[in-house]
Amino acid sequence: MARVRADPVTTALAHPTRRAWYVALSTKDEMSTVQLQAEVNVERYNLYHHLKKLASLNLVENHRDAGRSRWWKKTSHVDLPELLTRSEAPSPPSSPAVEGDQRSLPEELTADGEVHVINLKGSRDQIGAKRMLELLAKEHGIELDLPWNFLPASIALIAKKK
């Protein structure tokens, strides 16, 4: 698989965990490591891995230690659509009805076949699925104009009967 080369800041903030922390730090003056961990609900090791990456790019810094607590703040501003506050963000378009884990699909897609929905659980699955979609589109000559921060939550496989 070919590596995609991009701006390191863009690449770092494309990761959903790092982006979530950066957005959280953008809305507050500072946050402790425990508060950041609760924000995204990750293990402590992963927390420090991602915070070190953001700190190495001068996006955030550990600006004070109070006892065993480390306090972080944003040091550089990067314009991202995700930086809108929740009250400023446009409401999402209405999505299809959800039945259990599967979204309802139009009957013309499901009438003559079988549907399987794969729910992608983590960022690695999502990034891998996005890459797979891009490669399939390229191989079949389909122009797929996905935004750089697109991460699918699930994929629907539709099998048509011959």
Kindly list the averaged pLDDT for each block of 10 residues, start to end, along the chain of length 162. 66 83 89 88 84 92 82 86 39 38 58 76 75 86 82 79 68
Which conformational region is residue 81 in: left (phi greater than 0), alpha (psi within -120 to 50 degrees), or beta? Answer: alpha
Residues 6+ away with beta carbon under 8 Å from 120: 126, 129, 152, 153, 154, 155
Residue ranges of the chain assigned to CATH 1.10.10.10:
8-83
pLDDT at residue 97 in the model:
37
What's the topology of domain 8-83?
Arc Repressor Mutant, subunit A (1.10.10)
CA distances from 125 to 16, 36, 109 (A): 12, 23, 25
**Residues in CB range of 160: below 8 A, 6 or more apart:** 112, 113
The pLDDT assigned to 75 comes to 92
CA distances from 3 to 22, 46, 49, 87, 141 (A): 25, 23, 21, 37, 21
pTM, 2 dp? 0.50
What is the rounded distance in angstroms from the CA atom of residue 109 to the CA atom of residue 63?
A: 54
pLDDT at 105: 64
pLDDT at 5: 62
